[in-house]
Structure 1
Amino acid sequence: MKYNFGSPIIVFLIVAIHVMLPKHLAMASRATIPLHLKRNCTYAITIQTTCTKGAETSNHVSIRFGDSNSNDVLVYRLNSKHVKRLDPLEPQVLNDVPIKPFEVCTIDQFEHTSKCVELPVCYLYLKLTGDDDWRPGFAQIRVLEGPHLSSNYFYFRRYLPRNMWHGVDVCDNKGTPFGPKHKRKVFD
């Protein structure tokens, strides 16, 4: 059986495809996918409870945060996502006693996986559901897959109203002669 490949141009194209295609496929497999195109990101949520007497709570706490493109991440019952307690002054002590989040003078860390934000996190709201009072000090969101998308610290330092969203939005900062003006979001 005799094969006729035709002109030398066709032979050249076939050889070029066999040589170049594996190289381009290898380069494409190493390409990184932008975070906003990924399905999910992991968020490390850090919240401090102040040292004021009666600042702790055993109520359910919800959190919502996002970026200026309205990519909203909502976590109901943050208490169930507790990972660890952070103590900057003492080394971690490992024991079998369950750690209850939101106790006086503590910094708790939670982990949540959800859709990815496209821009840095610029708003954060907390909601306290129940009968206790709670006085958070600060909160911060770290995006583990993209540290450049992590938030600054959001400071509260006051008792939260119950059964309503309360927080800070610095997405649309506008300068005024009296200082920055922050727009607040309204949630149901």
Structure 2
Amino acid sequence: METKKRRGLIVGCCLFSLALLAGGANLPQNKKRNCTYTVTIQTSCTKGAETSDYVSLRFGDIKLNDIVVQHLNSKHVRKLDPLQPAVLDDIPTKPFQACLVDEFQVTGKCVESPICYLYLKLSGKDDWRPKFAQVEASEESHLSSRYFYFRRYLPRNVWHGSDLCDKEVTPFGIKHKRKVLAKKPAPERLMP
């Protein structure tokens, strides 16, 4: 009799587990899925604007979904001529050459609101002068970024770019609503 009760309990547990797994298909998906982004960067036409050094990229949204890409050079997809619509895929050149637009394919966590900040970092000895950068969210185009303009030589080994997240222009200047680097409250002191 004891054995029949155990078998019944085991069969009941197995059926209950299968029912939970089948019902779990309706549960919300895990938010740690990855999305694909197309990054477009144009190097300016100034003499000496190109670089062969490593370039890193950081972008994200107002909800602090931060995507960091080390060595963006390795994600190169294609090269475009800004004056002609022809794709220059068949020309074996490095990314970040003067007067050319480069496209990169990047995979990272998904943003939940429009991309509103973008930073570039140059690691090496070259000077590089990007003209603009833009990130397009492949799955949801309404989350793509605006154009981020640089138009100057990037400093080396530091993040340089723009944060357009939730800013309000007031008569007294730009007011930032997002507090990324907010000060922590001081700990309370105990009386001796």
Pair in the same fold by TM > 0.5: yes
Q: 1:61-88 CA distances to partner (integer Å, 9 max, x unpaired)?
A: 0000000010000000000000001224
Partner of 1:122: helix, strand, or coil?
Answer: strand
Separation in structure 1 between the aligned mates of residue 57 and residue 179 of structure 2, nearest angstrom:
15
* Match in the other structure for 2:106: 112
Q: Percent identity?
A: 61
Matches within 5 A, 1:127-146: 127-146=121-140
CA gap 1:181/1:47 in 2 versus in 1, 3 angstroms: farther
Matches within 5 A, 1:34-53: 37=31, 39-53=33-47
CA RMSD of aligned residues (A): 2.5
Q: 1:170 to 1:88 in 2, by over 3 A?
A: same
Give me the whole-angstrom Cα distance separating, in 2, the residues matched to 1:184 and 1:60. Answer: 30
User: Is 1:92 the equivalent of 2:84?
Assistant: no
- Say if 1:58 and 1:180 are closer, same or farther in 2 by CA, change over 3 A: same
Q: CA deviation at 1:175?
A: 1.6
Deviation at 1:118, TM superposition (A): 0.5
TM-score by length of 2: 0.73
Deviation readout 1:3-59 (Å, 9 max, x if unpaired): xxxxxxxxxxxxxxxxxxxxxx9xxx9x9x88x936011000000000000000000
**Pair 1:101 & 2:101 matched:** no
Q: Secondary structure at the match of 1:79?
A: helix
Give the counterpart letter for 2:70 in structure 1. Y
Could you tell me whether the CA contact under 8 Å between 1:168 and 1:184 is conserved in 2? Answer: no
Find the residue that maps to 1:159 and give its secondary structure.
coil
TM-score (norm 1): 0.74
Aligned to 1:68: 62
Q: Which runs of 4+ in 1 moved over 3 A?
A: 178-186
